[in-house]
Structure 1
């Protein structure tokens, strides 16, 4: 049976068609200003690939889940990311979902969510923070990580994105090397994620979300946590996969 899962995040919308245990089709696109428009884009794109959202079971999750008029049901992000991570990785561990708006730590045991934590409402320690800082430095997020790998340790201490951006502007004004500033930006995000993750005891970690192909951040997370961090290119679709798995 083909099931469709849609995860409308604050930054990106992810959708999958799950055929049994196989990913038959995936889509990722910017959410943009309107979650409703994003949902309509998913419907049109899936129709072009012979997946009719009016005929197939559809479950929605994410920031804009209530904006999917053709969804049969909406399910919380925690449940969906837990199911999606269990599908992709199996085993017990803690899911690190670094999203655009928030960061979630989800403890999985026997494929079930037993505990979860979320960061506060500030975007520091999220993908949005990296996006803002990369834009400030006129580089892509991949370029930011490449610079950071060659940088010297630099402290960006503020817990608030606005004040942290001011710190970056100050460092730029003082002539600090771009590599050093980038290093400070990445370490700031990684340390915040790991501080949250340290509240859940786990022997292994699974990274989901848009940073799942950022090798440098994966390395730094593993170093801070002193434990392996496993990921997969499909892990950006964990929420959508979990949503599809919620079809009864």
Structure 2
């Protein structure tokens, strides 16, 4: 078996990773999931293969993960993203003992053993107030692109207090602060502090142990990284591949499975 693949079908974006026999990333892709989840999974996989310069016939195993993992119709099996993010984080940062995964639909705090085996985890339980979806709502209210949120929030000097626990009301609260004359950067700083505080609560529930690795799409937001590090009093492990941790973990499991290793606990399970 020369290559293995992982496809992480998220609520907002779909990621695919190809690893070689040495478990190193040789191809990756990221696309919007859209309405056709099956097509998104296939497209992401095809793009990752293209980047790797590998034909599908040379891939010995494929595992799907994420909320749409059962839509990876060409996959061999499915593994929950909690297990995959933990494994991917441990591969990228071997000292990882705690993982914070912040995606569009939910946020997860995961405590792991050396090597990435999951000890405990918990997820946000109040709407999407501590997730990337909350940032999308704020961006819509302020008529900003998502890429503008982090740089703008970093300029905030007096963060407002965001009290809503539901994304449905986030836009109204943001507009309320705007109508009171507060600066956009202070409003966004408040939004980031609100999300980070909720994430900190999740981390405390599973137990925080260094090193802490941040995964998911929100890792690209510099303000979120900065606020989390301020609250935690610790630096986060973040890399340009942090968005691909789930797909990487799935690819690593696919590689092991193709080599005869047992499929990890959580394969095919309903935990997302």
Return closer, same or farther for 1:154/1:65 CA change in 2, 3 Å cut-off: same
Q: 1:109 — aligned with what?
A: 113
CA distance in 1, matches of 2:12, 2:250: 18
CA contact (8 A) 1:102 1:121 kept: no
3-state SS of 1:10 partner: coil
Return closer, same or farther for 1:203/1:63 CA change in 2, 3 Å cut-off: same
Trace 1:124-139 onto structure 2 (pairs within 5 A).
124-139=129-144
Residue segments in structure 2 that go unaligned for 5+ positions in a row: 258-272
CA distance in 2, matches of 1:224, 1:103: 17
Q: 1:60 — aligned with what?
A: 64
- Is 1:163 matched up with 2:169? yes
Bigger shift: 196-205 or 83-92? 196-205
CA distance in 2, matches of 1:115, 1:175: 44
Return closer, same or farther for 1:117/1:101 CA change in 2, 3 Å cut-off: same
3-state SS of 2:220 partner: coil
CA contact (8 A) 2:149 2:221 kept: no
3-state SS of 1:176 partner: coil
Deviations 1:50-109 (A, max 9, x none): 434465211110010000111011111111111100000012421010011000111111
- Is 1:81 matched up with 2:101? no
Structure 1 residue 183 displacement after superposition: 1.1
Q: 2:99 — aligned with what?
A: 95
- Is 1:42 matched up with 2:44? yes
Return closer, same or farther for 1:244/1:164 CA change in 2, 3 Å cut-off: same
- Is 1:239 matched up with 2:246? yes
Q: 2:54 — aligned with what?
A: 51
3-state SS of 1:32 partner: coil
Q: 1:184 — aligned with what?
A: 190
Q: 1:7 — aligned with what?
A: 8
Residue segments in structure 1 that go unaligned for 5+ positions in a row: none
3-state SS of 1:197 partner: helix
Bigger shift: 150-159 or 8-17? 150-159
Q: 1:22 — aligned with what?
A: 24
CA distance in 1, matches of 2:49, 2:216: 25
Structure 1 residue 216 displacement after superposition: 2.1
Return closer, same or farther for 1:229/1:44 CA change in 2, 3 Å cut-off: closer
CA distance in 1, matches of 2:126, 2:57: 35
CA distance in 2, matches of 1:53, 1:21: 17
Runs of 4 or more above 3 Å deviation: 46-55
Structure 1 residue 41 displacement after superposition: 1.4
Structure 1 residue 141 displacement after superposition: 2.7
Structure 1 residue 47 displacement after superposition: 5.4
Return closer, same or farther for 1:72/1:52 CA change in 2, 3 Å cut-off: farther
How many pairs does the alignment contain? 248
